[in-house]
C-alpha cells in the first residue's frame, strides 16, 4: 500500500517525477542506482533559479536535487517490533518524503525496533537498513529509493568495469533520461541532463548494451565497439526529413505527392510580423502577393494559379491538424512555427477533399521536447522607413499647370487678379519659384517607425510528459502616421502519456491583436469622381502652396482657407485627417485543440481530437470634426460620425481517426487510415453607427448621443461532415503507392447535392534502388512519381441555396414604412466545385545530398466552377451562384538545393526555386465568350471594365484602348482664322470631330480602322500574371557567423498604374478640387512643348473615361527581400559562461533592402484589388517600408 508507482507520484507532485523504477522492476533482484546526481548540484540549482527568473514563468517541473545531508529533514520515531515497511510508512507520514521500492526485496519476516528523536532521516535509514540487504538513495528532496545492495550482495570474483559515455540525438543535443541496459540482464543506467551515463558491467558476461529512448530507434551496441558518444536516430525522424501530409507524416524520401516544404529556419530569419510577409519565393508553386505594405495588410496566397473566377482562391490552412479556411495569418507567430508544408496536387490534398482544391497549407507549431526546460528568448527591434517618394510638381509648376487648366480661376486666385497680360502673368508666376512647397509625403510617412517583437518560450519534458509555454509581444508601428499593429500571444501545449496505450494532449493559443490607423487602400470612396478621397491620392494631390503663399498653414489646417473657405473640397488635408481619424480593429482569438490517442493493438491506433477556434473582432471607426469624413461642412450630412461592429465566430472541429500500421515480411509496409470528422462554424455579427455626434471629445463613447443608424444583427452557420480513408503501401521503399478517398457533406448545399466524393491515387518509383542504377554511384536517391485526384471547393456563403427577401424602409405618404423586396436568387441545384489534377514529379538527390532537386509538372482543370455568375438584367437579378465554367492551370516547378561548400569553418548552401503557371479559361457562364472584371476606385472609371477573362485565354488580362500619343498640330487643318479642324484622314478618339479633339488631346488607336474610336477598338493591353516567380536563398556560415541572402522575383507581369491616370492627366475639375500632379506631368503636351506622350492640361476625356494602355507598366522585379547576418556563441564560449546560456545568437537583418524594377510606382509587389480577375492593380497603396532589424535569440 505504500508502494508508489511513478505515475502516482507524478500525480501527487503535479507533474512527472524522475526515476528509474517502473513496473518492469518487479522481477529485478538488484537495482543499480546510478550516480545520476553528480557533485555540482548547487551550481545547477542557481542556474535553474536564474532561468526561471529570466523567464518570469512559474511552472512546476521535476527537478533533480542533491541528497546532501544539510538539506535533509529530521524526524522523530518510536517503533517497536514492526516490519520495515512500517518505518517507511511513519517517515512518509511525518515528512514529505515518499518511498519507492519493490515489495519483493523487503525482508518480510524481519522486525525492527527504533527510537530516535529529531534525527536526520538518513541516520534513521542507516540504522534500520543496517541489518538488511538493502540500501537507499535520496535523489530528490522528496523521494527515497530503496534498493538491494549491489556489491555486497554477492562475492564478486569477476572483473568489474565502469563504462561511461554520452547519448545524443542527430543534432548532437544531449538526451536526458535515455536508458542504457545490458542485454539480457536487469542492469542499466539512465542519462543525466547532459546525456551522460555511467554503468558498471561485468566484462566477461555483459557483452551487448541496449540503448533506448522514447521516440528514437533502439540501438544494440557491442561493448567492445562502444564509442564515447552514442547517437540515437529519431523515429519521428528529424523534422527536416519528415513531411507532414495531413493526418500523418511520411519520410521525405517516400513522398508520392507534390508537397513543398518551406525551410522554416530561413523563413524565420525575416524580421516580419506574420509568416506570409516572408513566404514569397520560398517554395515552388505558391504565389504570394501582398495587397500593399501596411502592417497587417492581407496577403493573397494562391497555390498553382487561381481556380475560381469570383470566389476565394486562398488555400485551406490546417494548423496543428485543425482545418481553418480563412485564418488571420497575423495570429500565427512566425517564431512558433515548427514546420510548414504546402500540399499542391490533388493526390496530396484529396485527403482534405471538399476544401482542398486551392491547395493546403499545413502548419505545425512548436511543441515540448524531451529534456530539461529549455528557455528561449528572442527579441528584435526594427526601424522601418519608406524611402520611396513620388516626385510631384513644385509650386511654380503647379501654378503654371493650373493656369493652363483654368486661366480665369487661376488669375483670380494664384495670379492675384493681375491683368491678363503674358508679361505680368509671368512675373507673378515667378513668385512661386521661391516657394519650396509643402511636402505631404514627408509629413505623412517621413518618420521612421519602430517594430519590436519579443518571444519567450519554455519547452521541455520527459518521455511521458512534454510541455511548451510561450508568449509573444509584437508592436509594429506603421510608417504612415497614427497607424500600426500590435500582437499579444500566449501559447501552451502539453502532451502526456497516460499509460503505455493512452496518450493525450492539448494545444492552445490565445492571441489578441490590435490594428489601428487609416488604411490607404480602403480609405477612399470609390464612387467619388477622381478617386481623391484615398489617402495617397490626397497626399499627392493636395496643393503644395496656397495662393497666400503660406505653406505651414497648408500643413497645419484642415483645408486651404484661401481657396476653400467653406471646407467642401473633395481633398482634405491628408496629414490632418490621418492624425485625427480613429480606426481600431481588435481581435481576440482563442484556439484550443486537444486529442486522445489510444493504441488498441500493436498496429492499430485510435485518435480522437476536438478543437475550438473562437475569434472575436471589434472594429471601431470614428471621424471627428478634424477629419475628411467628419468635418463640419455642407457636403457632409453626417457631421461627426462613427461606427462599430462586433463579430464572433466559433469554429468547432472533431476528428476521429483509426490508423493501422504494419510491416509484412519485412518489405511490405502498409499504412491504412480511416476517419470521421465533423466541423461547424457559427458567425454572429452586430454593428451600429451614429451620425452628427454632438460631443466629439468623447470619441467612440459619444456615439450614443448621436443620431443612431439602423443596427445590424446577423448570424450564419455552416457544418461539414466527412469520412476519409487512405491506404499507403510500399515495397522496400522502392515502389510506393497511395490511394485516398474522402466523402464530404456540406450544409451549404441542398440535400440532394450535399455529398461529394473525392478520390485520389499516386504512385512513386524509387528507381535509384534498382540494380541498373548501381553504376551511377553519384545518384544517392532518385524517385519519379505521378499522382491524380480530385478535390472540391465549397467557398460560397452559407445560405446561397436559399433565395432571400431584402427588407428596408420607404416613405409612403410622408412616413417611413417597412417594406420587403426580393433580395438574392438562391440556387437549390448548386453543387460542389471539382478540380481534377494530374501531377508528374521527380525528386533526385546526388552526391550524397550535396545536390538535390525536384521538378513537378501539373495540369489541373476546375469544373463546375462555383461562380457568382452575372445574369442578364431581364432575369430581375444581376448575379446568382451557378456551377458554370471551367478553368485550367498548367505549370512547371523546379527547385534545387545545393551544399556548395562544406568545410569545418565554412559552409555555403543554396536553394533556388522557380515556378511557371498558365491559366486558361475553358468555359464561362452560359453563352458568354468573355467576362469583364471591374475595379472600383474612381467614379469616373468604375463602369468601364479594366480586365477581361476570355474563353481560351489567361485569367487576369488587362483590357482597354491602345494609347497612340496625343494629337499634334499636324493632325489638323488650320483655317485662315486660326481654327484647327481635324484632318479627314485622322481618326477621332472622341465621338465628335469638331469641338474635340484639339491639339494635345488624348489619341487612341483605331484598331478596326472605321475612323472613330468605339468600344470595338478595345483590346488586351496587359497581363497581370507573371511568366515566372521564384526565389533564391544563399546561406553562408563562417565560424560563428552566418549570412543569409534571399532574393525573390516576379517576371513578366504587368501592373496597371492607375495613379497615373489621375496624376498624369490634368482633367478639369472644380477649382476647389484642383489636384497637384506628378512631376513627370510637367512634360505634358503644350503649344510650346509638343511632346507625344502625356496629354495637355484639360485634354477632354474620351467618352466613358476609358482605360488606356499608356499606364500599363512592366511589373517585373528582383528584390533582395531578406539579408541577415548573425553571430552565434560557440559551444566553447558557452561552456566558459558556465552554462548560463545554452545558445546565443545576435543578428542584423534587413527586409526589402533593394529592388530592381522598372516600375515607377511605389512598389511592384502590389495587388490593390486582389481577385482572380483583377491582378496587378495599383491605386493609392501603402508604401512598403524598408526595415533594418537588430535581434537577439538566447537559449537557456
Partner 1 sequence: MKNLNKLIVSITIFLTFFSCKKFLETKPTDFITPENYYNNEREATTALLGLYTAFNDNGNGLYAGNALTGWVLPTDEVFRNTTSGVNCLTYDFTDGTIGNYWNQCYRYINNCNSFLENIDKPVMDSTRREVLRGEALFLRAYIYFLLTSQFGDVPLKLNSTQSVSGVNISFSSSKDVYAQVLKDMILAEGKVYDIDASKQQPVRVSKQVVRGILARVNLYMAGYPLLETARYQDARDWAKKVVDANKNALNSDYTQLWINIARDAYDLRENMWEAEFQAPQPPYFRASGWGGQTGLGIACPQANTDVGYVLDWYKIAYSLSDRYRTDSSDIRYNWNIAPFFYRGNSGTWETSRDSLNTTPALRVQRVIDKNPGKLRRKFEVIRPAVGTSGMNFPILRYADVLLMYAEAENELNGPTTTAINLLNLTRVRAGCKKLYSTTATESYFLITDKDSFKRAIQDERSRELCFEFVRRNDLIRWGIYQQTILAESAKFISNNYQTVMSSVFNRVLDKHNFLPIPVSELSLNNLAKQNPGW
DSSP code at position 946: -
Q: Report the distance separating Cα 349 and Cα 315, nearest Å.
A: 10
Selected from 817, 1008, 1133, 1158, the binder of partner 1 by CB under 8 A is: 817
Q: Is residue 612 part of the contact set for partner 1 (CB under 8 A)?
A: no
Residue whose C-alpha is closest to residue 77's, from 94, 100, 57? 94
Q: Report the distance separating Cα 800 and Cα 825, nearest Å.
A: 8
Q: Is residue 23 part of the contact set for partner 1 (CB under 8 A)?
A: no
Nearest CB to partner 1, comparing residues 762 and 944: 944
Pairing of strands 712-731, 735-746: antiparallel
Selected from 71, 164, 695, 715, the binder of partner 1 by CB under 8 A is: 715
Residue whose C-alpha is closest to residue 261's, from 1120, 895, 918? 895
Q: Report the distance separating Cα 404 and Cα 398, nearest Å.
A: 10
Selected from 616, 709, 1052, 1143, the binder of partner 1 by CB under 8 A is: 709
Residue whose C-alpha is closest to residue 932's, from 943, 919, 945, 951? 945
639 burial type by CB count under 10 A (0-12 exposed, 13-18 middle, 19+ buried): buried
Q: Please answer whether residues 713 and 761 qualify as being in contact, where contact means their C-beta atoms are separated by less than 8 angstroms.
A: no
| 16, 120, 711, 918 from 644: Cα distances, Å | 49, 69, 10, 42
Q: Is residue 566 part of the contact set for partner 1 (CB under 8 A)?
A: yes
Selected from 190, 301, 443, 633, the binder of partner 1 by CB under 8 A is: 633
Residue whose C-alpha is closest to residue 933's, from 951, 956, 912? 956
Nearest CB to partner 1, comparing residues 164 and 807: 807
| Minimum CB distance to partner 1, residue 170 (Å) | 35
SS (H, E, C) 129-196: HCCCCEEEECCCCCEEEEEECCHHHCCCCCCEEEEEEEEECCCCCECCCCEEEECCCCCEEECCCCCE
Selected from 608, 672, 855, 896, the binder of partner 1 by CB under 8 A is: 608
Q: Is residue 707 part of the contact set for partner 1 (CB under 8 A)?
A: yes
DSSP code at position 105: G
| Minimum CB distance to partner 1, residue 670 (Å) | 22
Q: Which residue has the cell 541532463?
A: 193
Residues 333-362 that bind partner 1 (CB under 8 A): none
Nearest CB to partner 1, comparing residues 511 and 691: 691
**Residue 40: which residues within 8 A CB-CB, separation 6 or more?**
none
Alpha-carbon dihedral 567, 573, 576, 581, rounded to 10 degrees: 80
| Minimum CB distance to partner 1, residue 981 (Å) | 12
Q: Is residue 11 part of the contact set for partner 1 (CB under 8 A)?
A: no
Nearest CB to partner 1, comparing residues 399 and 925: 925
**How many chain residues touch partner 1 (CB under 8 A)?**
99
Q: Is residue 646 part of the contact set for partner 1 (CB under 8 A)?
A: no
Selected from 156, 499, 695, 981, the binder of partner 1 by CB under 8 A is: 499
Q: Which stretch binds partner 1 (CB under 8 A): 221-229, 343-351, 622-630, 872-880?
A: 872-880
| Minimum CB distance to partner 1, residue 1106 (Å) | 10
Q: Which stretch binds partner 1 (CB under 8 A): 303-311, 536-544, 813-821, 1166-1174?
A: 813-821
DSSP characters over 526-550: TTSGGGTTSHHHHHHHS-SS-TT--
Residues 892-931 that bind partner 1 (CB under 8 A): 925-930
| Relative orientation angle of helices 422-431 and 395-405, to the nearest 10 degrees | 140
Nearest CB to partner 1, comparing residues 184 and 714: 714
Q: Is residue 407 part of the contact set for partner 1 (CB under 8 A)?
A: no
Selected from 413, 718, 794, 889, the binder of partner 1 by CB under 8 A is: 718
- Evaluated on CA atoms 700, 706, 708, 709, the torsion sign reads negative
x/- binding map, residues 1002-1041, to partner 1, per CB under 8 A? ------------xx--------------------------
Per the DSSP assignment, residues forming a β-bridge with 161 are 201
Selected from 251, 717, 1135, 1136, the binder of partner 1 by CB under 8 A is: 717
Residues 759-798 that bind partner 1 (CB under 8 A): 798
Nearest CB to partner 1, comparing residues 231 and 879: 879
Residues 384-403 that bind partner 1 (CB under 8 A): none
Residues 1032-1091 that bind partner 1 (CB under 8 A): none
| Minimum CB distance to partner 1, residue 804 (Å) | 4
Q: Report the distance separating Cα 460 and Cα 950, nearest Å.
A: 57
Q: Is residue 876 part of the contact set for partner 1 (CB under 8 A)?
A: yes
Nearest CB to partner 1, comparing residues 881 and 1078: 881
Residues 112-151 that bind partner 1 (CB under 8 A): none
Q: Is residue 492 part of the contact set for partner 1 (CB under 8 A)?
A: no
Residues 262-281 that bind partner 1 (CB under 8 A): none
Q: Which stretch binds partner 1 (CB under 8 A): 182-190, 660-668, 745-753, 887-895?
A: 745-753
Q: Is residue 980 part of the contact set for partner 1 (CB under 8 A)?
A: no
Selected from 60, 421, 713, 752, the binder of partner 1 by CB under 8 A is: 713
Q: Please answer whether residues 279 and 302 qualify as being in contact, where contact means their C-beta atoms are separated by less than 8 angstroms.
A: no
SS (H, E, C) 975-995: CCCCCEEECCCCCECCCCCCC
Nearest CB to partner 1, comparing residues 2 and 598: 598
Q: Which stretch binds partner 1 (CB under 8 A): 95-103, 146-154, 444-452, 819-827?
A: 819-827
Nearest CB to partner 1, comparing residues 210 and 682: 682
Q: Is residue 981 part of the contact set for partner 1 (CB under 8 A)?
A: no
Nearest CB to partner 1, comparing residues 663 and 991: 991
Q: Report the distance separating Cα 258 and Cα 786, nearest Å.
A: 9
Q: Is residue 601 part of the contact set for partner 1 (CB under 8 A)?
A: no
Q: Which stretch binds partner 1 (CB under 8 A): 378-386, 485-493, 707-715, 1055-1063?
A: 707-715
| Minimum CB distance to partner 1, residue 810 (Å) | 5
Residue whose C-alpha is closest to residue 1084's, from 965, 977, 921? 965
Grouping H, G, I as helix, E, B as strand and the rest as coil, residue 66 is: coil
What is the CB neighbour count within 10 angstroms for residue 995?
8
| Minimum CB distance to partner 1, residue 598 (Å) | 5
952, HSE (Cβ side, Cα atoms, 13 Å): 2
Q: Is residue 678 part of the contact set for partner 1 (CB under 8 A)?
A: yes
Residues 1127-1156 that bind partner 1 (CB under 8 A): none
Q: Please answer whether residues 867 and 861 qualify as being in contact, where contact means their C-beta atoms are separated by less than 8 angstroms.
A: no
Q: Is residue 818 part of the contact set for partner 1 (CB under 8 A)?
A: yes
Instruction: Note if the bond before 434 is cis, omega within 30 degrees.
Output: no
Residue whose C-alpha is closest to residue 631's, from 690, 572, 684? 572
Selected from 1100, 1115, 1126, 1183, the binder of partner 1 by CB under 8 A is: 1100
DSSP code at position 1132: H
* All cell numbers assigned to 1151: 527586409
Selected from 159, 422, 565, 978, the binder of partner 1 by CB under 8 A is: 565
Q: Is residue 952 part of the contact set for partner 1 (CB under 8 A)?
A: no
Selected from 5, 96, 152, 820, the binder of partner 1 by CB under 8 A is: 820
Amino acid at each position: 500500500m505504500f508502494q508508489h508507482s511513478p505515475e502516482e507520484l507524478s500525480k501527487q507532485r503535479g507533474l512527472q517525477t524522475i526515476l528509474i523504477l517502473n513496473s518492469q522492476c518487479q522481477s529485478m533482484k538488484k537495482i543499480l542506482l546510478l550516480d545520476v546526481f553528480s557533485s555540482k548540484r548547487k551550481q545547477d540549482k542557481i542556474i535553474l533559479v536564474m532561468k526561471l527568473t529570466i523567464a518570469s514563468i512559474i511552472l512546476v517541473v521535476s527537478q533533480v536535487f542533491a541528497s546532501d545531508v544539510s538539506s535533509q529533514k529530521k524526524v522523530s520515531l518510536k517503533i517497536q517490533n514492526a516490519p520495515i515497511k512500517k518505518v517507511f510508512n511513519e517517515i512518509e507520514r511525518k515528512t514529505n518524503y515518499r518511498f519507492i521500492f519493490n515489495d519483493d526485496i523487503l525482508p518480510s519476516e524481519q522486525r525492527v525496533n527504533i527510537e530516535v528523536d529529531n534525527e536526520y532521516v538518513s541516520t534513521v535509514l542507516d540504522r534500520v537498513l543496517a541489518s538488511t540487504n538493502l540500501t537507499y538513495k535520496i535523489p530528490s528532496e522528496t523521494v527515497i529509493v530503496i534498493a538491494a545492495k549491489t556489491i555486497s550482495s554477492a562475492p564478486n570474483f569477476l572483473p568489474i568495469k565502469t563504462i561511461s559515455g554520452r547519448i545524443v540525438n542527430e543534432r548532437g543535443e544531449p538526451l536526458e533520461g535515455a536508458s542504457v541496459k545490458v542485454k539480457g540482464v536487469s542492469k542499466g543506467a539512465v542519462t543525466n541532463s547532459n546525456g551522460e551515463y555511467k554503468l558498471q558491467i561485468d566484462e566477461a558476461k555483459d557483452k551487448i548494451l541496449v540503448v533506448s529512448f522514447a521516440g528514437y530507434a533502439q540501438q544494440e551496441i557491442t561493448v567492445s565497439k562502444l564509442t564515447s558518444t552514442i547517437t540515437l536516430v529519431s523515429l519521428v525522424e528529424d523534422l527536416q526529413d519528415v513531411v507532414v501530409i495531413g493526418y500523418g507524416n511520411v519520410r521525405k524520401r517516400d513522398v508520392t505527392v507534390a508537397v513543398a516544404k518551406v525551410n522554416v529556419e530561413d523563413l524565420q530569419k525575416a524580421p516580419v510580423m506574420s509568416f506570409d510577409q516572408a513566404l514569397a519565393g520560398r517554395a515552388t508553386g505558391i504565389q504570394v502577393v501582398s495587397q500593399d505594405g501596411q502592417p497587417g495588410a492581407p496577403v493573397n496566397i494562391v497555390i498553382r494559379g487561381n481556380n475560381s473566377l469570383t470566389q476565394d482562391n486562398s488555400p485551406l490552412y490546417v494548423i496543428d491538424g485543425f482545418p481553418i479556411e480563412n485564418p488571420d495569418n497575423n495570429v500565427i507567430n512566425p517564431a512558433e512555427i515548427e514546420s510548414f508544408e504546402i500540399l499542391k496536387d490533388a493526390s496530396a490534398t484529396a485527403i482534405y477533399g471538399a476544401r482542398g482544391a486551392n491547395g493546403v497549407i499545413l502548419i505545425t507549431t512548436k511543441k515540448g521536447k524531451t529534456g530539461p526546460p529549455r528557455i528561449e528568448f528572442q527579441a528584435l527591434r526594427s526601424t522601418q522607413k519608406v524611402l520611396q517618394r513620388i516626385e510631384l510638381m513644385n509650386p511654380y509648376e503647379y501654378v503654371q499647370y493650373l493656369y493652363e487648366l483654368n486661366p480665369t480661376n487661376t488669375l483670380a486666385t494664384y495670379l492675384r487678379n493681375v491683368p491678363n497680360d503674358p508679361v505680368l502673368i509671368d512675373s507673378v508666376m515667378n513668385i512661386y519659384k521661391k516657394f519650396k512647397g509643402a511636402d505631404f509625403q514627408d509629413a505623412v510617412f517621413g518618420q521612421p517607425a519602430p517594430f519590436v517583437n519579443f518571444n519567450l518560450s519554455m519547452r521541455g519534458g520527459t518521455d511521458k510528459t512534454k510541455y511548451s509555454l510561450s508568449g509573444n509581444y509584437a508592436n509594429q508601428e506603421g510608417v504612415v502616421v497614427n497607424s500600426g499593429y500590435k500582437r499579444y500571444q500566449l501559447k501552451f501545449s502539453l502532451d502526456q502519456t497516460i499509460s503505455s496505450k493512452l496518450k493525450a494532449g492539448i494545444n492552445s493559443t490565445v492571441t489578441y491583436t490590435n490594428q489601428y490607423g487609416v488604411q490607404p487602400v480602403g480609405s477612399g470612396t470609390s464612387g467619388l469622381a477622381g478617386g481623391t478621397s484615398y489617402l495617397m491620392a490626397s497626399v499627392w494631390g493636395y496643393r503644395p502652396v496656397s495662393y497666400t503663399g503660406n505653406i505651414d498653414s497648408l500643413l497645419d489646417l484642415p483645408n486651404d482657407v484661401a481657396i476653400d473657405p467653406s471646407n467642401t473640397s473633395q481633398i482634405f488635408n491628408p496629414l490632418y485627417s490621418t492624425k485625427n481619424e480613429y480606426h481600431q480593429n481588435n481581435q481576440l482569438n482563442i484556439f484550443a485543440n486537444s486529442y486522445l490517442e489510444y493504441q488498441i493493438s500493436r498496429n492499430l491506433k485510435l485518435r480522437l481530437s476536438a478543437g475550438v477556434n473562437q475569434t472575436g473582432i471589434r472594429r471601431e471607426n470614428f471621424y471627428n470634426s478634424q477629419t475628411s469624413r467628419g468635418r463640419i461642412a455642407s457636403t457632409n450630412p453626417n457631421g461627426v460620425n462613427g461606427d462599430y461592429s462586433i463579430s464572433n465566430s466559433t469554429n468547432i472541429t472533431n476528428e476521429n481517426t483509426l490508423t493501422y500500421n504494419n510491416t509484412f515480411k519485412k518489405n511490405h509496409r502498409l499504412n491504412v487510415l480511416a476517419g470521421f470528422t465533423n466541423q461547424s462554424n457559427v458567425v454572429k455579427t452586430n454593428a451600429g453607427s451614429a451620425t452628427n455626434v454632438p460631443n466629439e471629445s468623447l470619441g467612440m463613447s459619444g456615439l450614443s448621443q448621436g443620431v443612431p443608424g439602423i443596427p445590424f444583427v446577423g448570424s450564419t452557420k455552416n457544418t461539414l461532415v466527412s469520412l476519409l480513408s487512405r491506404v499507403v503501401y510500399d515495397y522496400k521503399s522502392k515502389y510506393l503507392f497511395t490511394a485516398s478517398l474522402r466523402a464530404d457533406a456540406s450544409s451549404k448545399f441542398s440535400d440532394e447535392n450535399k455529398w461529394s466524393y473525392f478520390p485520389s491515387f499516386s504512385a512513386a518509383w524509387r528507381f535509384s534502388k534498382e540494380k541498373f542504377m548501381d553504376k551511377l554511384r553519384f545518384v544517392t536517391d532518385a524517385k519519379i512519381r505521378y499522382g491524380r485526384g480530385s478535390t472540391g471547393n465549397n467557398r460560397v456563403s452559407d445560405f446561397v441555396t436559399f433565395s432571400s427577401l431584402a427588407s428596408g424602409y420607404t416613405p409612403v405618404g410622408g412616413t417611413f414604412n417597412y417594406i420587403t423586396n426580393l433580395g438574392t436568387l438562391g440556387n437549390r441545384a448548386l453543387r460542389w466545385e471539382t478540380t481534377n489534377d494530374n501531377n508528374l514529379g521527380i525528386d533526385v538527390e546526388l552526391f550524397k545530398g550535396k545536390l538535390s532537386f525536384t521538378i513537378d509538372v501539373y495540369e489541373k482543370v476546375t469544373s463546375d466552377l462555383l461562380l457568382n455568375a452575372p445574369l442578364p438584367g431581364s432575369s430581375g437579378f444581376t448575379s446568382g451562384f451557378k456551377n458554370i465554367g471551367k478553368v485550367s492551370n498548367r505549370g512547371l516547378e523546379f527547385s534545387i538545393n545545393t551544399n556548395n561548400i562544406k568545410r569545418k569553418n565554412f559552409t555555403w548552401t543554396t536553394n533556388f526555386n522557380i515556378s511557371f503557371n498558365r491559366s486558361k479559361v475553358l468555359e464561362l457562364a452560359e453563352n458568354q465568350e468573355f467576362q469583364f472584371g471591374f475595379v472600383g476606385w474612381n467614379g469616373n472609371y468604375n463602369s468601364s471594365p479594366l480586365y477581361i477573362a476570355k474563353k481560351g485565354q489567361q485569367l487576369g488580362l488587362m483590357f482597354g484602348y491602345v494609347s497612340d500619343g496625343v494629337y499634334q498640330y499636324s493632325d489638323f487643318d488650320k483655317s485662315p482664322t486660326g481654327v484647327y479642324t481635324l484632318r479627314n484622314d485622322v481618326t477621332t478618339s472622341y465621338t465628335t470631330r469638331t469641338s474635340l479633339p484639339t491639339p494635345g488631346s488624348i489619341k487612341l488607336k483605331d484598331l478596326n480602322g472605321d475612323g472613330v474610336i468605339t468600344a470595338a477598338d478595345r483590346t488586351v493591353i496587359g497581363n497581370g500574371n507573371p511568366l515566372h516567380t521564384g526565389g533564391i536563398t544563399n546561406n553562408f556560415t563562417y565560424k560563428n557567423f552566418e549570412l543569409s541572402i534571399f532574393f525573390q522575383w516576379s517576371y513578366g507581369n504587368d501592373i496597371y498604374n492607375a495613379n497615373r491616370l489621375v496624376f498624369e492627366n490634368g482633367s478639369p475639375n472644380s477649382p476647389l478640387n484642383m489636384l497637384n500632379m506628378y512631376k513627370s506631368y510637367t512634360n505634358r503636351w503644350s503649344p510650346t512643348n509638343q511632346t507625344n506622350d502625356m496629354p495637355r492640361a484639360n485634354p477632354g476625356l474620351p467618352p466613358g473615361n476609358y482605360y488606356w494602355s499608356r499606364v500599363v507598366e512592366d511589373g517585373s522585379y528582383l528584390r533582395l527581400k531578406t539579408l541577415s547576418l548573425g553571430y552565434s556563441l560557440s559551444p566553447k564560449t558557452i561552456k566558459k559562461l558556465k552554462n548560463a546560456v545554452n545558445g546565443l545568437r545576435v543578428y542584423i537583418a534587413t527586409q526589402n533592402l533593394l529592388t530592381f524594377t522598372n516600375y515607377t510606382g511605389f512598389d511592384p509587389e502590389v495587388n490593390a484589388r486582389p481577385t482572380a480577375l483583377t491582378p496587378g492593380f495599383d491605386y493609392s497603396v501603402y508604401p512598403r517600408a524598408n526595415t533594418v532589424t537588430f535581434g537577439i535569440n538566447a537559449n537557456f
